[in-house]
Structure 1
Amino acid sequence: MHLLLAEDEQHAGEYLAKGLGESGFVVDWVKTGRDALHQAHSSEYDAIILDVGLPDIDGWEVIKRLRQTQQTPVLFLTARDRIEDRVRGLELGADDYLVKPYAFSELLARVRVLLRRGKQQETDILTLSDLEAHLLRRRVERAGQRVDLTAKEYALLLLFLRRRGEVLSRTLIAEQVWDMNFDSDTNVVDVAVRRLRAKIDEPFSRPLIHTVRGFGYVMEQRD
């Protein structure tokens, strides 16, 4: 699971990033509202932990702008325990609200609840043409035939399906699937895409994964 943490306090940010990382999450930590917005629009996150008191653009404005384009679950962090602040946060689109100081165990529990809610809201089946990915069963079928994928191939396919029609760069794919910065001397992305194509495209008459030269790859149905 990929989390965005927006916290300007150095000690708190280090503490949360370390604890969440040890709990099995991939965490991107930023310290300003501008960076939070940039990251949220550049990468796909399962949840966002957002401190209200960020410099340059505060948490209120960050979530206001986020909710114009996406519904990623957001946990608000604040040092002020005022009912009007809670109401304001919820009205702007926050999914939960945690007042400082807090126990890490409570924050972790709240994050996990948000993630479960997000999964419940997501459709169980992602489809494109005759390709189906059944999320709960982790089963992939094309034209009614089962397709067996490795864990990385499955993660790559879900990324393509969730962002079908969108050209994905090799850098973005590497960040989302392998949590790594793309090295131009490494062909890990191209190899993985080639292996995925061999399973879901080559045995069938119509390819769904297409190369966009100079940019990356796109999954879409073409005539």
Structure 2
Amino acid sequence: MIAPHEIISDEEIIRVHGHANFGDMSPREVVNDGVRKYAIGYTGGHTQLCILIEHGLITKPKPGKYSSNLTQKGKRYARAVSAAQHDALSAHAAAEVAKARLTFPDDVLALARRVGRGEWGQTDPKTAAEHAADMALTVEKTAAHFGQTEPQPMNGVYIDGTGIVICHTGTSPNSPEIARALTGLWNMIYDAAQIGAKP
């Protein structure tokens, strides 16, 4: 995807901006902000309008009006700005995920070493009653393996505040810790997914 500076150079951005004062906004940000506004039907102020017109990004409005449309160049620039923003957000999310990988608590790392690698699995299609029967058999096998004779809680990851299951981790002695670790990982993925998400 072509970058914004390949459509309008930094030198041209600065030349057209001149001595305009937009506070903390850089000349490039002024253009990007204006293009975003006109792309969704909003308008900018008079100075921003004039800057966008000189760059050939919007059509010249009727006298006394501020409403305008993006030109073909403006549409190309808008797509470039959107792609650049998406790339930046994706890079930020990747950095956050990588940082989180390096900061797993020691007890979670010890748990993973103790339990071993996991694998994704799926049963044949069954009714709810058949799945419940299979779950009962699994719980019985777990109880026999760990010598459990008392009732045990079923552990898992649930959608916050709903009780709807994301995944069950079972009834073994390791199950509560596994559920907590998976909940942390799931929420890390969820938080990363919110970066750049539409409101």
TM-score bracket relative to the smaller structure: under 0.3
TM-score with structure 2 setting the length: 0.27
Looking at secondary structure, tell me which structure has more helix per residue: 2
* Structure ID, larger Rg: 2
Looking at secondary structure, tell me which structure has more strand per residue: 1
